[in-house]
Structure 1
Amino acid sequence: MLVFGLLFAAGFTGVGKAEAAAGSDLIIVNKKTNKLAYFSEGRLVKIFPVATGKSKELTPEGSFKMVVKVKNRPYYKEKIPGGDPANPLGDRWLGLEVNGTYGTTYAIHGNNNESSIGKYVSAGCIRMHNDDIHWLYPKIAKNTRVIITTSTLAMENIATKNGYSVGSKTFAGAFEMDGVTTKLKDPFLMDNSRVFVPLRESVALLGGSLQSEAGTGALLITIGNRTVSHKPLSGQAVVNGKTLTMPASRNENGRLMIPLSTLPELFGIQVQWSSESQSVKINL
């Protein structure tokens, strides 16, 4: 077993998710401004106006997960059917796990009164314009992290403060194999919440070889029974004669960096990401 230990530089705490589908998304609700920000792949995609609790304590603050997605949820309190224009929940419900409520009590949802958006009027939920939540709903996977706060900071700064990587940054990395940790000379790269590792040093530590293919500009990598041909900065690789599409490799200060997520397909290894330890376990 090989463990890629991502030893982050001081002050940096990356964000991992239990499910890969939610891994690169983040929602921030700032009660100070009654705005909701949607981040994906390390970038701020869109900001929406919202309504929150009529008093400060009604809308809980903290880090939560969105665990329930429902279309046309009934308003049980008043026995209003789902999808009814009179339903104050609108027709989309993104339920949050808050103190064991399992997404049934607090949510980001639509409304039946568009003029309420931007105000402090709810019983604790976060209301959106119906067109806005229709846009957001299909993009959000279960277990997406939701930060609710009251802050004077910009949305990007709130995200960074809560461990979400916005844009690009480098950090110290290491490989751990058979209980021995080897720090890499070259740093890892986080770009848009995607981790890149230095290709040449990684191949060497995996026991492989790397050389240039004459006349093609491609690199020929051999690890175990895998032979991989990859042209730097391209989004393709040829693995044992089969062409695969992949996120493009990158040049970072003269070093070729390859997405960590491509290692399973390229080199035939199993990868398990741990958000708690910020490490990747790899079975060769």
Structure 2
Amino acid sequence: MINYAVNDDFKKEAPRLLKLMLVFVFLLTVCLSGTAGTAEAASSDLIIVNKKTNKLAFFSDGKLVKTFPVATGKSKELTPEGSFPVVVKVKNRPYYKENIPGGDPANPLGDRWLGLEVNGTKGTTYAIHGNNNESSIGKYVSAGCIRMHNDDIHWLYPKVARNTKVVITTSSLGMETLATNNGYKLGSKSFAGSIMLNGVSTKLKDPFMLKNSRVYVPLRESVAVLGGTLQRDAASGALIITAFGRTVKHVPLTGKATVNGKTVTMIPSLDENNRLMLPLGSLPALLGLDVEWKAGSKTAVIKK
């Protein structure tokens, strides 16, 4: 016969053991839920560090939120290039090499540390962090880490979740192009723009739009500036553009048009606040124009 008797010692310890088990389950639940939440938060964020310009860009929810000056390695190879996740977040990290306590004004790490997983270092070796010498920012002076102004890292630190991707590169491309090239989906952004036709520049009243690194122009006003006409076919809903000896028919929001009766493919037009936006890159195929985008002046230079 099996003896189900329980000794007195177990009876005394049972309540305490039960409490410990409950605490363990609670902590495990918190840890798991925290990990899932962090991964989700990081999915819409991206950090890019461009060593060519010593700039750091923070993207969130499909937009470039802010750009900061940084300091990087004394030599090119010291700051590694590639894609690395943030795996460690530490406030007041000690500088172990010289036994400087965390939070000490002499600590070259500053008081915020975003550690990166680089070649198995687990966030202990390479990081985005503060500094103890503000004049070093913007220069090539570090042993491999990415230094920021202390006010800047204080702004960035609470906004960056673990697992946020950090891309480190050396490039002449703009930050938004680099983001797109690394698989980041950019949302749309409106801005004032101009069209320069045969050397004459006209600033449009309606805004241009940047979406997924493509420039879109307001169709109606752009056609007017180019000296064309715009009508609508009531039967088909197609817009009819007449300019530069061409007749273009395009059904809004589609990826096709007919040019003098011949079908061509194009990037679909977009509706933005009840304005039809045409991809600037489609103008050569539709109207036979030479188009160059000047990002600095936000001008579409068009030549016939």
TM-score bracket for the superposition, by shorter chain length: 0.5 to 0.7
Task: Give, in whole Å, the separation in 2 of the partners of 1:70 and 1:91.
Answer: 8
Find out whether 1:92 has 2:112 as its counterpart. Answer: yes
Matching of residues 1-284 of structure 1 within 5 Å: 19-168=39-188
Q: Secondary structure at the match of 1:56?
A: coil
TM-score (normalizing by structure 1): 0.53
Task: Give, in whole Å, the separation in 2 of the partners of 1:96 and 1:161.
Answer: 21
Task: Give, in whole Å, the separation in 1 of the partners of 2:68 and 2:38.
Answer: 26
- Report sequence identity in percent: 82
Q: What residue in structure 2 maps to residue 267 of structure 1?
A: none
Q: Which runs of 5+ in 2 are unaligned?
A: 1-36, 189-210, 213-269, 273-304
Deviation at 1:167, TM superposition (A): 1.5
TM-score (normalizing by structure 2): 0.50
Deviation at 1:21, TM superposition (A): 1.4
Q: Which runs of 5+ in 1 are unaligned?
A: 1-16, 169-190, 193-251, 255-284
Task: Give, in whole Å, the separation in 2 of the partners of 1:131 and 1:253.
Answer: 40
Higher helix share: 2
**Counterpart amino acid of 1:45?**
V
**Counterpart amino acid of 1:84?**
D
Higher strand share: 1
Aligned residues: 158
Task: Give, in whole Å, the separation in 1 of the partners of 2:107 and 2:85.
Answer: 24
Task: Give, in whole Å, the separation in 2 of the partners of 1:70 and 1:126.
Answer: 15
Deviations 1:89-140 (A, max 9, x none): 0000000000000000000000000000000000000000000000000000
Q: Secondary structure at the match of 1:45?
A: strand
Deviation at 1:18, TM superposition (A): 8.3
Across the aligned residues of Structure 1 and Structure 2, the Cα RMSD in angstroms comes to 2.1
Task: Give, in whole Å, the separation in 2 of the partners of 1:24 and 1:89.
Answer: 27
Task: Give, in whole Å, the separation in 1 of the partners of 2:271 and 2:130.
Answer: 47
Task: Give, in whole Å, the separation in 1 of the partners of 2:85 and 2:177.
Answer: 20
Q: Secondary structure at the match of 1:19?
A: helix
Runs of 4+ in structure 1 deviating by more than 4 angstroms, as ranges, are: none
